[in-house]
Chain A
Amino acid sequence: MPETPVRRVVITGLGAVSPVGIGVKDFADAVRAGRVGIGPVRSFDATPFPSRKAAEVAGFEPAAVLRNLDPDRWGRSALLAAAASRLAVEDSGIDARELRAGRSGSIMGTTSGESAVAQSLGGQWVTQGLKGLEPRLVGQMPAGQIAGAVNAELGLSGDAQTIPTACSASNYALGYAFDMVRSGEADLMLAGGADSVNRLTHAGFYALGAMAKDLPQPFDAGRSGIVTGEGGAALLLEPLDHALARGARIYAEVLGYAANCDAAHMVHPDATSIAACIRAAHRDAGVTPEQIDYICAHGTGTPTNDSTEIRAVRQVFGDRLPPISSIKSMLGHTMGAASGFGAIACCTALEQDFLPPTANLVETDPELGPGVDCVPGRGRDARVDIVQNHGFAFGGNNVITILGRYS
């Protein structure tokens, strides 16, 4: 029972700084074509690792996008978030002064925060001891700098909240920002997330046995794990009335979301808990399973995640599963940005009438059971009206957002 009357919330701007393209047009084109943004690691020396691939944003030039941040003063994740947010604002066509004048802010998710900065500091520690840390980099380290960078770049005076709930973080950010705009706590909000490819994350997922031998193959019978990725994802949330009054293009309406916690294990996902999260998201959005036209899966490509995810979906949808695909097959696992990119993919699917594909798929795993349509290879033309975006994380943090065509 909300305390205040609620307003409808729509998404009117999208910003993607991703391994498959910068800007929403390039991102959407690449996703639709099933283009894979994975290559040899460039940002650190991967020679000691058995797997040396990552999904990096190779062509990211912060100064080409940002107008106000000095790239030397911010970490890579902050710059990715700020650039994605700048692109989302430009995409929305909203007047910058109007954005500054309102109670506007940003909610940004992340898994590892400024891990690329940490990697540089780690190198200084190894060679020069803790005495040799560079003060400039120390100041860039806190995760809160990520949302801070968005507010600093765009001149927002409202919330600058970073939500480091690991790999469901940008879905959490999207849900929380939705609540802020819906309840009148804020006017316009940027929501999304950012992470950077780095050596420690690469090592950690390898140590967990979760790293793909080569490319990630979500839902494939031969899937072996993830490829680490990076990027910045941002969505502009706006009250519907305001969007209509300024004649904005509306990608989608945020219908609702749910967040819950497995409370069972730090790493292993829990199908029953995920199913509970899906049901709660449906209740919150006021939709039924039959109305869901597409699921943008968490779909990491590890054997455990994908089978657990399909099992959870079956608990809710029975044997009539909506098409379910994983854009991580193309973007790698972009960690805290992942479900933000999922939300952007959902918005472009609603706008351009297609289902985002699962790339690298050779044979859908028969052990997932019958009726699993993971849209192999390339995007498929289809009209979708209501879509469901998954994000799961270490710590058992599940967040599911429901987006719909505005009508």
Chain B
Amino acid sequence: MTTAAPVQSLPAQSAPVQPLAVVGVGVVSSAGHGLAPLAALLDGDTAPDPAVEGDPAYPPRPVRPVPGFRAADHLGRKGTKNLDRLAGLGLVACMEALEAAGPAPAGLDPERTGVVLATNTGSIAGYSDLLYETLTLEKPYLINPGKFSNSVMNCSAGQMAIRYGFKGLNATVAGGRSAGLYAFRHARLAMATGRADRLLVGGAEELSAPAAWAWHHAGTLREGAPVGEGSAVFVVSRAPEEHALVDLLACEVGYHGWTGTTGGAAERRAPSQVLADAVTRALERSGVRAEDVETVSLSAGHHIGLDRIEERAVHLALGRVPERVRVADVLGETYSAAGALQLAALLAHWRSRPSGTPRIGLVTSVGHDGNAGALVVRGRA
């Protein structure tokens, strides 16, 4: 056995980070396609009529679907037959992000192009249909094998790689409401360690009756808070890009969900403190001062208790709460897609208010599950 020699704990380095350039964005939300309708919705436009309102399969709670969305309308029929809605939303956002980015630079190696996508559940609709079948069919092993292989949580990331020939790393990440920030963090480390040159990074969420019921039962959303869906995907480049939309700076996370007797009262920190520390660390590693943060894109619009925790954390870290963007107020709870849609909302908000100078934004996230995170974003002049 090892000896219990006293060893000083090793503080991990908090090295400054290199900016990562966002060169394209694709957004599919209940506002429509792209940043402009999202900006309009954030500025008070009325949301499109939600088609499934009043559907008896859903709980008594508003929903915010992507109106009229059918993946095949955008992607064609090839390869979309067994695709669930979740993969469809992600693939369309991916396609639109690639179109927005324009042709890939000459010499870009497909083996160094990859995907980092956030999901906590995969397609709940696809999975629960199969689950229902395996529990009710006389011969449960006669389920559709194509649907089964698409029910894995990494289906969307794999489908993106197949459709666009991305042969590099292909990651799917989960972390509750912070899953999107984990995706940005994952992409950052993969690029910092030289494992990829270009990554499609984002998240997706689909609306379904089982998912809406799950939120309804979970009891964490305020009464009347809508459940939504959508996807945002960003083309992120390791090399500096002259025409980047924004640069992604540091992304830091923390966990506050200790349980039982772990650590005792003395070592425990409040969720707001854990998030505030993540913000402070992210700013420090980005070389950004607290007073430079112009806008914060918040996550917890309609979660009981969380919204106050999140704003308190921002106040703790910055000494004030800057201009707020609350995408959940307009799109509803979009869970695995939330982090990516928060970044999209920050871009949409900035784009509708052009500034002559570079500016700094913050995307924050906190969940009842113990996850918290913060991403620093630099807008170009």
Which of A157, A260, A265, A276 is within 8 Å of B162, CB to CB?
Answer: A265
Binary flags per residue of B150-180, CB closer than 8 Å to A gives 1, else 0: 1111110111011011111111111110010
Interface residue ranges of A111-125 to B (CB < 8 Å): 111-113, 118-119, 122-123, 125
Whether B170 pairs with A259 at a CB distance below 8 angstroms is: yes
- Do B193 and A179 have beta carbons less than 8 Å apart? yes
Chain B residues near A185: list those with CB within 8 A: 12-13, 189
Contact of B9 with A by CB under 8 A: yes
Check A164–B213 contact: CB distance below 8 A. no
Q: Is A222 an interface residue (CB 8 A)?
A: no
Contact indicator A166/B152 (Cβ below 8 Å): yes
- Cβ–Cβ contact A397 & B170, under 8 A: yes
Whether the pair B143, A207 counts as a contact (CB closer than 8 A) is yes
A285 within 8 A of B: no
User: Quick check: which of A243-251, A290-298, A346-354, A360-368 contacts chain B, the rest being far away?
Assistant: A243-251
Contact among B110, B141, B217, B261 for A68, CB-based, below 8 A: B261
Q: Which of A19-27, A33-41, A388-396 contacts B (4 or more CB under 8 A)?
A: A388-396
B121 touches A142 (CB 8 A): yes
Tell which of B131-139, B229-237, B337-345 binds the partner: B131-139
A186 at the interface (CB under 8 A from B): yes
Chain A window 193-228, contacts with chain B (Cβ cutoff 8 Å), 1 for yes, 0 for no: 000000110111011110000000000000000000
Most A Cβ at <10 Å: residue of B2, B59, B150: B2
| Alpha-carbon separation in the docked complex, A92 to B369 (Å) | 28
Q: Point out the residues of chain B lying under 8 angstroms from A67, CB to CB.
A: 260-262
For residue B270, give the distance in angstroms from its CB to the closest CB of chain A: 12
Q: CB of A334 within 8 A of chain B?
A: no
The residue that A184 contacts in the complex, of B15, B138, B371, with Cβ under 8 A, is: B15
Asked if A93 contacts B15 (CB within 8 A), the reply is no
> How many A residues face the partner with a CB closer than 8 A?
108
Task: Indicate whether A105 reaches chain B with its CB closer than 8 angstroms.
Answer: yes
Asked whether A172 is an interface residue with its Cβ less than 8 Å from the other chain, the reply is yes
The reply to whether B254 and A144 form a contact with Cβ atoms under 8 Å apart is no
Q: Which residue numbers of B lie inside 8 Å of A, CB to CB?
A: 1-5, 7, 9-13, 15, 17-18, 57, 59, 110-111, 114-115, 119-122, 127-128, 130-132, 134-136, 138-145, 148-155, 157-159, 161-162, 164-176, 179, 182, 185-186, 189-190, 192-195, 209-210, 213-214, 217-219, 253-263, 267, 269, 274, 369-371
20 A–B contact pairs at CB < 8 A?
A2-B194, A3-B17, A103-B12, A113-B153, A119-B131, A126-B135, A135-B217, A146-B174, A148-B257, A151-B370, A163-B172, A165-B172, A179-B193, A179-B195, A204-B143, A207-B148, A249-B1, A261-B169, A273-B167, A395-B152
